[in-house]
Amino acid sequence: MEAADASRLYETTLGRVCVSEIQPNDLVFSKELQPKRLDQNLQSIFSTGVAALTLLIAAPFLPILALLIKAGSRGPVLLRDRRIGLGGSHFTMYRFRCHADTARMERAPTIGRFLRRFGLDTLPQMWNVLLGDMSLVGPEPVRPEYAARLDEFIPFYRQRNSVKPGITGWAQINAYRDQPFPDVIRGLEYDLYYIKNFSISLDLFILVRAHRDALVSGK
């Protein structure tokens, strides 16, 4: 079996790109791992529209959630983290605080566990989508210092930055699910598969899958 056939079989069977088979020429001369501008523009329009509608519907409940988080434990309502975005740019990512702001408490507050269980802690990231920092679907946003270290040791890691990071993504519903210490290489392979097959239809599939998984885990 030729290397190209083996790579295609690997992708088809596992839903991820084999990093060890990628050559520098694949990034320089091939457009397979480069998303199309039209698809990126369509994704941006779709994500912005959904984020605006979601925040509009959620607006009456956001003050209630903020009060419950404050009442559950001391600390800020929102957490702000520096993350890597499109093209390696930096941005501030927002999310609701789910944990207690003290090491003496062993368990997260009830409201924090509720938010995490149903994925509501990421609701403020809809604002990041409106700002253009993130998309609904894409690679998981990582911290700059973490990304810098991985760039040193993992070839093609920065290729993840060719699309916007997402609230959920192909790697998040596959490689990272139920894994406290996910395999970085495996996650990268899922991210590259997503970039290679970048499309609105794939985004819709991922969103439906993520929503289904959230409902199942919430039972």
What would the pLDDT profile of 141-183 be if each residue is shown by its tens digit? 999 999 999 988 887 898 999 999 999 999 999 876 555 556 8
Please give the pLDDT value at position 99.
Answer: 82
Beta 135-137 vs 90-96: how paired, if at all?
unpaired
What would the pLDDT profile of 79-108 be if each residue is shown by its tens digit? 999 999 999 999 999 999 988 765 445 567
pTM: 0.86
What would the pLDDT profile of 38-84 be if each residue is shown by its tens digit? 999 999 999 999 999 999 999 999 999 999 998 888 889 999 999 99
Q: Is the pLDDT of residue 184 over 70?
A: yes
CA angle 74, 76, 77 (to 5 degrees): 105
**In the block, which residue shows the tokens 């490689």?**
175
Sorted by sequence, the CB contacts under 8 Å of residue 202 that are 6+ apart come out as: 137, 170, 194
Strands (E) in the chain, as ranges, are 78-84, 90-96, 135-137, 166-168
